[in-house]
Amino acid sequence: MDRMAPSAERESVGKICTAMHHAYRGLRLFPADHPSARQSIDTLVNSVTSHVENMGPVHLQIDEMRVLYENEQVYSYEGSRDNLAFLMFRDGIRALSFHPDVEPWEIEALVDALSHADDLGDIDHDLATTLWEHELIHIEYEVVDPFLTGGRELRAAAIEELRETVARRLGELSPANVAAGLGGGGFGAAGEGDDNPQDGPVGPAEEGSQAESVALSQADIEMIEQIVADSSEALDDFAVVLLEIIGAGLETPEGDDALIQALSLVCQQCMDLGNTDGLSLVLERLEALEGEGRRPAGFASGVIGDAVTPARLAKLIERMGQASMQEAERMERLLGRMREWIYPALLGTLVENNDKSVRKTVLALLHTESGIPGQYLWPLMHDTRWYVVRNAVQLARGSTDPELPVQLERLLRHPDERVRREVIRSLDVIGGARAAPLLARALQDEDAAVRTLAVRSLGRHGNRGHFAAVSARVETREFETRSSEELEAFLQAFALLGGETTIDTLNKMWKRRFFGTRPLPLRLAAVQALGLIPARAARDSLGEAAKSNDAQLQKAAARALAQGQSRGGEARS
C-alpha cells in the first residue's frame, strides 16, 4: 500500500516547489546578483535545508505537467513554458531528490540550470547533462537519462531480382501447398476460404494447371511494381504474398537470401512511408514462423536488420515526433520489439545524428536492464568523441560480459574527465570483486569529482584489503586542503573499511591542536565518519565532540550519534 505523507510534510514539500518556481522565474528575469533573484534563491535554500534537516530527504516524482510527492500533486503550472515539471520531463528527468547536508551552492546550481534549460542549443547538452556536469552530491535525479532518407521507389536491380523470385515461386505454388505451408490459415487474400471441408486434395494434373493459373504475367508484375511504389495498402498485400511463399517452405537454389532481400525491401518501403501496420504484419508473422519451427532462428532478425539503417531509423523517429500520441506510441512499441535486431542502426543513429530529440529517443530504446551485447559497444569506446564514449559506457551498465571491466580499465586513462566519471558510475553498478580494484586505482585521479565518486563507491564495494589505498590518500600532507565533499567521502570510506582501527586517527582530526588548528570541514568530516563505526570507543568520542565549544561540531556529533542509534535499531529489528 502506498505511503500517505503527513499533511505538514506534504505542505512543506509544496512550499519547496513553489519556492523553486519563484527562484526559477527570478533567474529568468534578473541576473543572479539582483536583489529579487537573490531573495528568491535564499527562500528556496531555506525551504529545502529546513525540510531535510527536520523531516528527512525529499523524493519528487516528475510527471509531464506536474510534480508529485508520495503520489500526490504538490506542483503544477498552467502553460508549459514556465512549468518546471515540463522542463524536466522534456529532457528525460523523471525524479528529483534532495538529501540531508545539501549545500546552498547545489540548490542554486539546480535552479540556475532550470532557468537556462531553454537556452541549451548544443546537441551535446541538455538539462540532464548540465546537472550531471555540476556534480551535485546531495541532489539526485533519475533520467530515462548518458544512437528516411531513401526514396519511395525500390531499386531497379533489386526489383528485377524480386520480380524473378516472385514469378518463379508463385509458379511453383498451388493452393494445396500454400494451405499446407500456412497450416490452413494465411494472412487474408490468398489464404482465405481454402479450408472448405468439401474441397478434396489436389491431384497431379490439377496441381499443374493451378500452378500455371497463379503464375504472374509480365503485366501483373508491372502492375505490382506500380502499386508498391504508390500505395501502403497494396504494399501490405505484397508483403502477404511474400510471407505466404516463405510459409510454404519450398526449397530454392538461392536458399533464403532472395526471400530475405525481398522482404527487407518491403520493410524499407514500410518505414519510408511510415506504414506501421505493414511493418507490424511482417514482424508478427516472421516471429510466428520462427516459433513454429518453419524458419530457422535468426531469420526474422536478418530480414529486419537488413532493412533498418541509421538514416531510415532517424526519419522514422522524426515522423514519431509529428504523429499523434497514439500513433507515436505504436511506433515506439514496434521499435522496442525490434530493438535486439537493430542494435547497429540504433547505435549508428546515436553516434551520427545531430538531432537531440532523435538521440534521446534512441537512448531510451537502448537502455535495458541486461545491457547491450558488448560486441556492439566496444568499437564506440574507442571513438575520438568524448560524448560517444560516455554514452557507450552508460549503455554497458548491466552487462555481464567479462570483457567489460577490461574496457573500463582502459577508459580510466581517458583524457576527458567526464568519461572517467561515467566509468566510475558504471563500476559502481558492476560492484564486487570486478570493480573494487579499479575503484582503488581511481583514487589517484587528477579530477576531484572522479576521486570522490570512486571512494564513495569503494566504501560500498571494497573490503579490508582496499583499506590501504584509502589510508594512503588520507595520510598525505595535502589531504586537508581538499573540498568538504571529498573529505567526507574519503573519511567515510576510511571508517567503513578500517573499522575500529581508524578511531584514533579520526579523533586526532577533529580535536584542536595546541598550536594551530585543522580546517573545520576536516573536523566535521572526521566526526561524521566516527558515526559509521559501531564501537563503544567511537560513541565515546562522539559524546566528547558533542560537549565541545564548537556549535557546528556539537551539531555534527549529535546527528552522528542519532544516526548510529537508528542503524543499530534497524540491525536489531
What is the identity of the amino acid at 31? P
- Could you give the C-alpha distances from 86 to 23, 111, 287, 458, in angstroms and in order? 16, 14, 38, 36
Mean pLDDT of 313-334: 86
pLDDT at 252: 46
**Burial (CB count within 10 angstroms: exposed 0-12, middle 13-18, buried 19+), residue 475:** exposed
Q: Is the pLDDT of residue 208 over 80?
A: no
Q: Tens digit of pLDDT for each residue in 16-58?
A: 999 999 999 888 887 888 888 899 999 999 999 999 999 999 9
Residue 368, all three cell numbers: 535495458
Q: Tens digit of pLDDT for each residue in 233-248?
A: 556 666 777 777 777 6
Closest to 345 in 3D by CA, of 259, 262, 268, 260: 268
* CB contact at 8 A, 25 and 62: no
pLDDT at 447: 95
Q: Is the pLDDT of residue 287 over 90?
A: no
Between β-strands 93-98 and 72-76, what pairing exists: parallel, antiparallel or unpaired?
A: unpaired
Mean pLDDT of 219-230: 51
Q: Is the pLDDT of residue 154 over 90?
A: no
Torsion, Cα of 464, 468, 471, 473 (10° steps): -130
Sheet containing strand 93-98, strands side by side? 72-76, 66-69, 58-62, 93-98, 139-143
Query: What domains are there in the chain, each with its CATH number?
Result: 7-143 (no CATH), 156-195+208-307 (no CATH), 368-462 (1.25.10.10), 478-573 (1.25.10.10)
Mean pLDDT of 542-570: 83
- Please count the residues of the chain: 573
Q: Is the pLDDT of residue 97 over 50?
A: yes
Residue 342, all three cell numbers: 537493430
Q: Is the pLDDT of residue 232 over 60?
A: no
Q: What is the DSSP letter of 323?
A: S
pLDDT at 122: 46
Q: Tens digit of pLDDT for each residue in 520-543?
A: 999 999 999 999 999 999 999 999
Q: Tens digit of pLDDT for each residue in 368-403?
A: 666 788 888 999 999 999 988 998 998 888 788 888
Q: SS3 for 97?
A: strand
d(CA 356, CA 351): 11
Q: How much is the mean pLDDT over the chain? A: 79
d(CA 194, CA 184): 7
What secondary structure, in 3-state letters, does 404-455 show?
HHHHHHHHCCCCCHHHHHHHHHHHHHHCHHHHHHHHHHHHHCCCHHHHHHHH
pLDDT at 36: 84
Mean pLDDT of 149-175: 44
**Which of 139-153, 175-189, 553-567 shows the lowest mean pLDDT across its residues?**
175-189
pLDDT at 44: 95
Q: Is the pLDDT of residue 12 over 90?
A: yes
Record the pTM.
0.56
d(CA 438, CA 424): 9
